[in-house]
Amino acid sequence: MEMNLRKICGVSLCSSLIAFALAAPQCAFASDVERSYEETVSEVIKITATRFSDHLKEYYAGEEAVPETADLLKFAKNPESYSIGVSQTSETFIVVFLRRRVLPFERVVGGGGEYHINKADLSLIKFVAYK
């Protein structure tokens, strides 16, 4: 499943990541194939955005939409309803998905999660779902 990352992460986040990546050093993979830092961060976002979209489908698969909560369920199931943040340590990337606070759901809290990705081979270390 191909996702439109511009829609998911927003132009400002992507622009910030690109600007930051251009000034950052290169990151080497265990396979000895070198990619620029920008390419690596883009790949990490693609990997986690796909995983998060799959997580949402799985998590909400059994939920039935009742008229009173149908709009909220549609909002919660949509990956575009979440903001993406990327951080890093010396060995991992941490990608966080947080539900956006928008009308009429600005008082809804919780949801989302974070992915810890190994920098050496871009493998998933762990996923922590937010409640």
Segments making up each domain of the chain, as ranges: 5-129
Instruction: For helices 5-23 and 37-59, give the axis angle rounded to 10 degrees.
Output: 150
What is the torsion angle, in degrees rounded to the nearest 10, for the CA atoms of residue 108, residue 8, residue 4 and residue 70?
10
How many degrees, rounded to 5, is the angle at CA 15 between CA 10 and CA 20?
130
For residue 67, is the peptide bond before it cis, meaning its omega torsion is within 30 degrees of 0? no
Average pLDDT, the chain: 79
Is pLDDT larger for residue 50 or for residue 1?
50
Q: 58-108: per-residue pLDDT in tens?
A: 999 988 888 888 999 999 999 999 999 999 999 999 999 999 999 999 888
Q: What is the mean pLDDT of residues 1-28?
A: 38
Q: Who's near 19: CB < 8 A, 6+ residues apart?
A: none
What pLDDT, on a 0 to 100 scale, did the predictor assign at position 110? 86
Helices (H), 3-36: 5-23
Instruction: Please report which helix (H) or strand (E) contains residue 43, including its range.
Output: helix 37-59
